[in-house]
Structure 1
């Protein structure tokens, strides 16, 4: 089914907003578990999308990428985490960082379940829109999980790598953080980003659907 731009935005809007919102809220929640209450004090441990939305990164950029048909790309306002407040900063950083992609994996399974439910109500007026939104949700969360697992600070994968590497290597990698966004944009515009995250994206998407007996 070929969708026009308005239909695409209508189908992708909810999955995009909640994929980014829950990703960020998960960081704050796990940080609080390990001793840092910065996000909580700033009201960022919430499922209210308005607390996390960045007008450019959450709305404009994803809308443009959907319109152009490229890799869905976007971001929310980062949840503030003071790693110095964590009980074991280097070790606990791993769990705080992993919480975001972990939330996306859970959401990919949720949207796959919605696709399965849509198959069970075939004939209903809601079946096709729900199936399309479900597939969009699986795809979006698979992309965000794969993207954020790249070992480039300040992405979650970069923080996970800093947590796992020996002190000297971890320090060297952490110094890349100010240039992380520029590296990411360079990968995006050269087409290398899709090559790097493609296999992980496809794996997450395939497994999420297979759990419910669905094929991509």
Structure 2
């Protein structure tokens, strides 16, 4: 008997669809999840699908996946047309080293039918880069901010925009910044109002939070 139990009612219940975290799973377990999706007639988002694990899937499976190596995500089945994507979320990444996490958030949003432009390499080490893009950033209804090192971007953005800021600390850093804990503490300790935090490297969780915020705003 398989240990796999898919939650196809999750989107109707929570607004965020079922997804499969591939880290620590075998190729056989991932293939079983995809077979369950095919049998149920559902699309499926795969996260943390590292390139070696993707390469271990059967050739037929790999051909059926829309795989993105930077974010380690894959889409199975039909996904919403980008031309019809819902606007409102913007992703701001402090550095190009933060792009894998930013891209995970963007891919999750795209899978769910939301547009999410990524504005990258605007960290506070060169504050002018962020200020040059503020007219674009201020137009977003929800902002996902992605930063490692000391995580200063979270408070700076929180003090400049009206939108809620979802802080995603990344494990990018060294010394006391290694592992992302310092950036997480910066997000949690921010004095800028309206900054909330998800776990380290959790681009998927940030995207889910952004979707729920937009859906709550639409209901009101």
The TM-score with structure 2 as length reference comes to 0.26
More helix by share: 1
Q: TM-score, normalised by structure 1?
A: 0.26
Higher strand content, 1 or 2: 2
Higher relative contact order (CA 8 A, sep 6+): 1
